[in-house]
Amino acid sequence: MQSKKLLMCPPNYFRIDYEINPWMHKENNVVSQSAFSQFNSLVEAYKKINIPISMIDADPELPDMVYSANYGFVQDNIFYCL
């Protein structure tokens, strides 16, 4: 059986460039310090309970990569990255 890992992306370029749902508003600025603090807290929480994490590099052209679960799918217990 393959081990399970979380795929995570740091919020290096996290911002709102477009609106695709009722919660996204371009005039709302991401507070970078808060985003990094929350990200680091989440990483530490996962580490404390021994959940393996794979990090993906952030891309400046993809501002919402922090939602890395959207970049792949699982089939037959294998994760495929898009």
Decide: residue 62, CB within 10 A, 0-12 exposed, 13-18 middle, 19+ buried: middle
Residue range 27-66, pLDDT digits in tens: 988 999 999 999 999 999 999 999 888 898 999 998 888 8
Those residues whose C-beta lies under 8 Å from the C-beta of residue 73, and which sit 6 or more positions away, are 79, 80, 82
What confidence tier does 10 reach under pLDDT thresholds 50, 70, 90? very high
The average confidence (pLDDT) of the chain is 85
Residue 39: both structure tokens together: 């990200």
Global pTM value: 0.74
Q: Is the pLDDT of residue 2 over 60?
A: no
Residue 8: both structure tokens together: 């995570």
| C-alpha pair distances (Å), 61 with each of 6, 12, 64, 65 | 22, 11, 9, 9
